C-alpha cells in the first residue's frame, strides 16, 4: 500500500494544455513528435479530464478518489470469497433455492456490452464453474443490481452512516 501511495499517478494538466496548443494553434498532429514528446512519458492524451477540471479548484484529486478498475481495487480472491458468502446467505434464507435461481436468471438477462467489456453470463453464475478473472470482474460490475431485492428489506437497504 505504501508503494501504491508513493507512486500514485498525478494528472499533468499543464502538459495537456501545452499539447493542445501545439495541436490547435500550431497545427501539429496528435501522434506527432512534439505532442508525443510532451505527453508520451505518461501515456497521456490531449483531452482535458472533466473530473480534474471541475474538482481540482476545490482541492480534490480525482485520481485518488476514483477507482479505475474494480479488480485492481478488489483482489480476485477477496471478491470470490465475498461472492461465495453472498450465495451461501441466499441459500440460508427461506426459499433460498428459488432466490439463487432468480440470481442466476438476472445474470443471464444482462446483455453483453462492448467488445470484451461485459460478456454474456453462464447459465448458473452462482456455481462459479470455469470462470476466469475477467468473468469475476464482470460479475462484480453487475452484482449490485442483480442482488437488489433478493435479501430481506432490512438487509437489502443501503444505509448512510
User: What is the pLDDT, as a whole number, of residue 97?
Assistant: 94
In this prediction, what percent of the chain has a pLDDT beyond 70?
80
130-139 residue pLDDT tens = 888 788 888 8
- Decide if pLDDT at 42 tops 80: no
68 grid coordinates: 479505475
Instruction: Report yes or no: 108 and 42 within 8 Å, Cβ to Cβ.
Output: no
CA trace torsion 117, 118, 120, 125 (10° rounding): 140
Write down the residue that cell numbers 480472491 correspond to: 77
User: What is the pLDDT, as a whole number, of residue 9?
Assistant: 58
- 118, β-bridge pairs: 113
Which is nearest to 86 in space by CA: 110, 103, 105, 62? Answer: 103
CA distances from 76 to 2, 41, 53, 73, 153 (A): 20, 30, 33, 9, 28
User: What is the pLDDT, as a whole number, of residue 98?
Assistant: 95
88-140 residue pLDDT tens = 999 999 999 999 999 999 998 888 877 666 778 878 898 888 888 788 888 88
pTM for this entry: 0.53
| Residue positions counted in the chain | 161
Amino acid at each position: 500500500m505504501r508503494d501504491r501511495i508513493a507512486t500514485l499517478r498525478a494528472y499533468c494538466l499543464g502538459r495537456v494544455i501545452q499539447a493542445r496548443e501545439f495541436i490547435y494553434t500550431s497545427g501539429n498532429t496528435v501522434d506527432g513528435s512534439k505532442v508525443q514528446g510532451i505527453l508520451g512519458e505518461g501515456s497521456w492524451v490531449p483531452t482535458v479530464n472533466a473530473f480534474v477540471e471541475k474538482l481540482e479548484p476545490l482541492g480534490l484529486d480525482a485520481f485518488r478518489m476514483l477507482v479505475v478498475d474494480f479488480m485492481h481495487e478488489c483482489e480476485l480472491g477477496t471478491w470470490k470469497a465475498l461472492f461465495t458468502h453472498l450465495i451461501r446467505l441466499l441459500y440460508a434464507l427461506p426459499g433460498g433455492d428459488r432466490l439463487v435461481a432468480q440470481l442466476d436468471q438476472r445474470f443471464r438477462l444482462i446483455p453483453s456490452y462492448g467488445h470484451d467489456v461485459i460478456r454474456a453470463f453462464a447459465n448458473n453464475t452462482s456455481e462459479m464453474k470455469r470462470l476466469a478473472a475477467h468473468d469475476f470482474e464482470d460479475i462484480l460490475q453487475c452484482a449490485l443490481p442483480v442482488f437488489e431485492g433478493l435479501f430481506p428489506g432490512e438487509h437489502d437497504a443501503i444505509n448512510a452512516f
